[in-house]
């Protein structure tokens, strides 16, 4: 099939490269000339494990190309995906800015020739697919097309395997013809018996928000349980295991942490609440998840302060991890960047290390000291705080870290280490939801 991907951001580029790997001829289109030039020269604008190799391979094999011109790649495509950004609107309050979506729809419209399926891949409020359909029909009344909502469930850092082996594929459309085209797009997934959920447009749009809101709720729940565990002397890791083995609950997404971050959960929970409010419905469970997440970050500030004897002035914090999760350089809504600044404001100094996210962080937080290794971060530090569970932080030489430090406090916000192991290395241990 000929497929066009409009937007070469995170979702567009991963989806485009993976569809090329499925055997389709894919053109990734973006108005950003510099980005496209760089992609043509093998430059990958984001860090995502395996993406550089996948792009290079499919370009070499002639299945993946790049363009800045819709006239080049929309005519003759059987499916045109819209994967442009939907940033939070400057209006705030969970509104999404859909300018790029509608601009893309208008541009696509004038280049449509034969029957084409226009696929909404970006996460958009309920009702957007119908609006896209209206925009295209108005811009080109003769266009022969259908609109499909096909939300993505890619996790940063694991996006390629999530695409190649998804739990499910959701296809929202009221057209059988479009359904058949989408089956061809995802043909290799039928071989591995991937479940497909065919629904109407609105259901598909809402599924994406509901899935992310539910996962956010699960995280906020376990974070509250961690606080309760600390008070009653229970261990949240055992608790998560004990409840997670119940198949109705499931063991995934029950890891307490400094709060969820990233580009999806914070934005999508607010967007869901906005959609609910606009429709006169209150979704209190999700409201609570959002509030708990803000409180969790504030609680982490307090936890670190308490561990420093409630006096952070002049103290040095070694911070391990800046990205909101491992295997990404993404700093959006990253908890350490909400937790460290209030401590710096009170006079703490911060020495940070992250395997991927330091370059971007330097631009935003020039006052932190950036170092090349977790051990260097510990030099002269009073306290070490593990924020992100990168694999390279899972087997640190704790004794070596301790030997470089002035103080001896270890705050493990991801429960990576067994408390005894840390204590045996000479540290005072503070985990989440455990003694
Ligand atoms: C998420 C969804 O998982 C994905 O399906 C959707 O398409 C986009 O949003 P992503 O934001 O990349 O993906 O990361 P994810 O692995 O889901 O983690 C999100 C946040 O939750 C991170 O800050 C992570 O640290 C936190 N988290 C996750 C926890 O604190 N505990 C957990 O048990 C799981």
**φ, ψ at 185 (rounded to 5°):** -55, -45
Nearest ligand 1 atom to alpha carbon 333: 23
Task: Encode pLDDT of 278-306 as tens digits.
Answer: 999 999 999 999 999 999 999 999 999 99
HEC-encoded secondary structure of the chain? CEEEEECCCHHHHHHHHHHHHCCCEEEEECCCHHHHHHHHCCCCCCCCCCHHHHHHHHHHCCCEEEECCHHHHCCCCCEEEECCCCCECCCCCCCECCHHHHHHHHHHHHHCCCCEEEEECCCCCCCHHHHHHHHHHHHCCCCCEEEEECCCCCCCCCHHHHHHCCCCEEEECCCHHHHHHHHHHCHHHHHCCCCEEEECHHHHHHHHHHHHHHHHHHHHHHHHHHHHHHHHCCCHHHHHHHHHCCCCCCCCCCCCCCCCCCCCHHHHHHHHHHHHHHCCCCCHHHHHHHHHHHHHHHHHHHHHHHHCCCCCCCCEEEEECCCCCCCCCCCCCCCHHHHHHHHHHCCCEEEEECCCCHHHHHHHCCCCEECCCHHHHHCCCCEEEECCCCHHHCCCCHHHHHHHCCCCEEEECCCCCCHHHHHHCCCEEECCCCC
Residue located nearest, by CA, to atom 3 of ligand 1: 155
**What is the CATH code for 209-290?**
1.10.1040.10
The pLDDT score that the predictor gives to residue 168 is 97
Testing ligand 1's pocket by substitution, the residue of 212, 244, 262, 388 carrying the most ligand atoms inside 8 A of its CB is 262
| Residue from 239, 341, 264, 252 nearest 300 by CA | 341
317 contacts 349 by C-beta, under 8 angstroms: yes
> Is the shortest distance between the CB of 121 and ligand 1 below 6 Å?
no
- How many of the other CB atoms lie within 10 Å of CB of 61? 11
Ligand 1 proximity of 218 Cβ (cutoff 6 Å): no
Question: Which atom of ligand 1 has the smallest separation from the CA of 159?
Answer: 12
**Do 129 and 149 meet the contact criterion of CB atoms below 8 Å apart?**
yes
415 lines ligand 1 (CB under 6 A): no
Q: What is the pLDDT of residue 435?
A: 79
pLDDT band at 135 (very low <50, low <70, confident <90, very high): very high
Q: Among all residues, which ones are annotated catalytic?
A: 264
Per-residue pLDDT, 93: 76
How does the average pLDDT of the chain come out, rounded? 96
Nearest-CA residue for ligand 1 atom 5 is 153
Report d(CA 260, CA 273) in Å as an integer: 17
Hey, whose CA ends up nearest to atom 17 of ligand 1? 155
CB of 48 closer than 6 A to ligand 1? no
Residue 70 has pLDDT above 80, yes or no: yes
125 pocket-lining for ligand 1 (C-beta < 6 Å): no
Which pLDDT score is estimated for 261?
A: 98
Task: Report the percentage of the chain scoring pLDDT > 90.
Answer: 96
* Spatial distance between the Cα atoms of 256 and 225, rounded to a whole number of angstroms: 8
Give yes or no for residue 228 having a pLDDT over 90. Answer: yes
Q: What's the rounded Cα separation, in Å, for the pair 18 and 402? A: 44
Q: Are 245 and 251 in contact (CB under 8 A)?
A: yes
CA-388 nearest atom, ligand 1: 25
Model confidence at 57: pLDDT above 90: yes
Out of 219, 252, 292, give the residue to mutate to test ligand 1, the one with the largest number of ligand atoms within 8 Å of its CB. 219
Burial level of 176, CB count in 10 A (0-12/13-18/19+)? exposed
Q: Which atom of ligand 1 is nearest to the CA of 254?
A: 33
Q: Residue 260: pLDDT band by 50, 70, 90 thresholds?
A: very high
Note the pLDDT tens digit of each residue in 87-133. Answer: 888 887 778 899 999 999 999 999 999 999 999 999 999 999 999 99
pLDDT at 144: 98
Place of tokens 């959701």: 170
pLDDT digits (tens, 9 = 90+) for 46-56: 999 999 999 99
Q: Is 264 in the pocket of ligand 1 (CB under 6 A)?
A: yes
Task: State pLDDT tens for residues 27-38.
Answer: 999 999 999 999
pLDDT at 407 over 90: yes
Q: Give me the pLDDT at residue 105, please.
A: 98
User: Looking at residue 152, what is its pLDDT?
Assistant: 96
Closest CA to 208 of 280, 264, 140: 264
> What homologous superfamily is domain 2-199 in, according to CATH?
NAD(P)-binding Rossmann-like Domain (3.40.50.720)
C-alpha dist (Å) from residue 98 to 84, 95, 110, 124, 140: 9, 9, 19, 8, 20
Q: Domain spans of the chain?
A: 2-199, 209-290, 298-430
**How much distance in Å is there from the Cα of 322 to the middle of ligand 1?**
15
pLDDT at residue 215 tops 80: yes
Q: Domain spanning 298-430 has what CATH number? A: 3.40.50.720
2-199 shares its CATH topology with 298-430: yes
């Amino acid at each position: 099939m000929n497929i066009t991907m409009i937007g070469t951001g995170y979702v567009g580029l991963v989806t485009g490269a993976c569809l090329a790997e499925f055997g389709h001829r894919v053109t990734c289109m973006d108005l950003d000339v510099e980005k496209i030039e760089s992609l043509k020269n093998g430059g990958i604008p984001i860090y995502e494990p395996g993406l550089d190799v996948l792009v290079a391979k499919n370009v070499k094999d002639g299945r993946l190309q790049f363009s800045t011109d819709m006239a080049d790649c929309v005519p003759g495509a059987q499916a045109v995906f819209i994967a442009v950004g939907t940033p939070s609107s400057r209006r705030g309050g969970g509104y999404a800015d859909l300018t790029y979506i509608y601009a893309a729809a208008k541009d696509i419209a004038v280049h449509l020739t034969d029957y084409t399926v226009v696929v909404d891949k970006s996460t958009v409020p309920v009702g957007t697919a119908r609006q896209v359909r209206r925009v295209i029909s108005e811009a080109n009344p003769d266009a022969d097309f259908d609109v499909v909502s096909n939300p993505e469930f890619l996790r940063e850092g694991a996006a390629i395997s999530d695409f190649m082996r998804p739990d499910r594929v959701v296809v929202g459309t009221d057209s059988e013809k479009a359904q058949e085209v989408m089956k061809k797009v995802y043909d290799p997934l039928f071989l591995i018996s991937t479940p497909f959920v065919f629904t109407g447009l609105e259901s598909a749009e809402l599924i994406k928000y509901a899935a992310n809101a539910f996962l956010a709720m699960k995280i906020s729940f376990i974070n509250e349980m961690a606080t309760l565990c600390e008070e009653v002397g229970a261990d949240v890791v055992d608790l998560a295991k004990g409840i997670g083995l119940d198949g109705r609950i499931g063991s995934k997404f029950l890891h307490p942490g400094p709060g969820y971050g990233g580009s999806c959960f914070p934005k999508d929970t607010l967007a869901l609440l906005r959609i609910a409010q606009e429709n006169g419905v209150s979704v209190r469970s999700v409201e609570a998840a959002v509030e708990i997440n803000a409180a969790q970050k504030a609680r982490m500030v307090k936890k670190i302060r308490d561990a420093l004897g409630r006096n952070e002035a002049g103290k040095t914090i070694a911070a391990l991890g800046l990205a909101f999760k491992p295997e990404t350089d993404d700093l959006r809504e990253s908890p350490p960047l909400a937790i460290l600044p209030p401590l710096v404001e009170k006079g703490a100094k911060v020495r940070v290390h992250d395997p991927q996210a330091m370059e971007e962080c330097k631009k935003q937080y020039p006052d932190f000291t950036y170092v090349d290794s977790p051990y260097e971060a510990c030099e002269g530090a009073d306290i070490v705080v593990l924020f992100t569970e990168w694999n390279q932080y899972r087997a640190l030489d704790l004794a070596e870290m301790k030997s470089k430090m002035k103080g001896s406090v270890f705050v493990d916000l991801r429960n990576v280490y067994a408390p005894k192991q840390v204590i045996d290395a000479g540290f005072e241990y503070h985990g989440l939801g455990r003694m």
